Structure 1
Amino acid sequence: MLRKSLLTIAMLSSAFSMTAQAETTEVNIYSYRQPFLIEPLLKAFSEETGIKTNVVFAKKGLLERLEHEGANSPADILLTSDIGPLSDAVAKGLFAPFNSEIVNKNVPEQFRDPEGRWVGLTSRARLVYASKERVKEGEISSYADLADPKWRGKICTRSGKHTYNLSLIGSVIAHDGEEKAESWLRAVKDNLARKPQGNDRAQVKAIKEGVCDLALGNSYYFGKMLTNEKEPEQKEWAASVNLIFPDQEGRGAHMNISGAGIAKNAPHPEAAQKLIEFLTEQQAQQYYADANFEFPVRPGTPKSDLVKQYMGDFKGDTINLQRVAEQRAAAAKLVDKVGFDN
């Protein structure tokens, strides 16, 4: 009887070991982030851990795919380029909370969901691009200044409904309340030089061409324009502007992230957590900084040389981004209410 029990235990232990091994031998990734940013890191991760990585890259639709697949989804991780999809995944119940001492050590609290459902991997600032020729030093120093009537007909931006702008507006709501945010957004709308259009780089081009004097844009686009050998005219766009990090005497520049979450029905949750931990370590953080001119979330990781030269140190808003994300729906309603994109 004892022999039979021991044999049963041995068989169960063996089965458990095989299951655990299967769970950690591969990881499936849905990625909104571009291949050049991810593939070298995944290769390094596989070489270090022996875990195979399988990736689906797409510019849109991955969140909907994850939701549609439900319990049958093969996805372990969703990688995003903004807080928006992370927040949407939380709202739809698509992420499984996880707790990692490594992640908690490497990533500041402001870039982690309080309930462990997502984590930031890189950060960027939503700054103001200002014409070197037409905007004097000190003329604008805050997001509130964008509402000043002196800038009537002189501001360019992409759609207010774009996720980058929704996050910025959401941060204004989180800090100042919806009523003040509406007044601010309405005044900024009155100052627009043209109907919101294009991407962030298109706004800098508009400044170079004299269409406007100020524009909202993410910080890393400056580096991408300044080093663009395929379209060298973008170097001229970048050279025509100064970078203004708003609210340095107040709450600091609005920060956003690229990030990741583990799928609720992940087939390989252990491997997924290992990958996320790897992406918060020094090697991966340094690669992100050098390859895409983003800011590392891991304290102590050096910024790229270009970023250090043109952006230096600045004060970033430390509000937890989940609080900002929770205001994105209200932000979208304000965009419609004031007719921002009309």
Structure 2
Amino acid sequence: MHCLTNTPDASVVVGVYEGLDQLPASMDSVLTQAGPSFEVIVVNDGSGPASSAWLRDLAARDRRVRLIEQDNAGLTAALVRGCGEARAPIIIRQDVGDRSAPGRFQALLEAIHASTAIAMVSSWVRHLGPRGEPLVTVRRGIDPEENRRRLLEHREGPPCHGATAFRRDAFEQAGGYRAKFLYAQDSDLWLRLAELGGFACVQRVLYECTFELEGISATRQALQVAFGEYAHACRAARLAGADDPPPPEVESRPATAEERRHARAAALYYVGACLDARADVRGRGYLRRAIGAQPSRLRTWARWMWSMRPRRWTESIQEGEQVS
């Protein structure tokens, strides 16, 4: 395996479990970044033969890619391993299925190096629908201290996990990713980083996330919420000088058919409502499918009927506003 001989400016950490249909575009958006030197630490978290072969070929072709292979242990374990292997002073995250815009790495490094008081950085993020439809752009402010305050007091963190970068020394001082956070590992890390320094945000879109309809099961969604609340409970304990409370219990059961239908209907509704808020008629199709998945949900019927209004009456909601 080839590797860089000098310390790079940044270490890009990617946890991979399958996703062969999305890997090429995501990795291309990383490897075509210009400007700073970087290594790409890819942790293959027990992917199948096809994805594993693709990753091995990529590592053989590009000396910047360091491939680490392990049995499937989950995203948190993959990130613990990958960040532990990082050699650069700055760690940049990237998720499979997402894309980094040209110039992202350069802009993140400039922002985080603007002040030693900054512990982490992100950018604005554009969320895309399953077919690449623009759904919403999530923004954060320009003042690192105000962003830090809003994260700690109002739970307004970076727009998404893969869009972040942070100082490796702050990451290590904060305790890194914690294995007990099987979900919401990003929220837990962000809170601890914000206790050490500011949160800067580049004021333009440098990252795109694709919303997958099947990406979050009903069971996993509930666990994301539970572990997110747990991250804040741990912060409260730190402020009180107490030990962390016990983590939420994780049931190892498959989702029921009803839970799967509910999760799919909610995902279809979200995409449809976001598109309708932008006066995009493609939202109607998603809302119709949401009705088909869960006909008893009156809210979806109401939104679908509203989406059929004549567009000359529409005052479209500004991109980035929350959809109800």
User: Shared topology, TM-score over 0.5?
Assistant: no
More helix as a share of residues: 1
TM-score, structure 1 normalization? 0.24
**Structure with more contact order per residue of length (Cα contacts < 8 Å, sep ≥ 6):** 1
Larger radius of gyration: 1
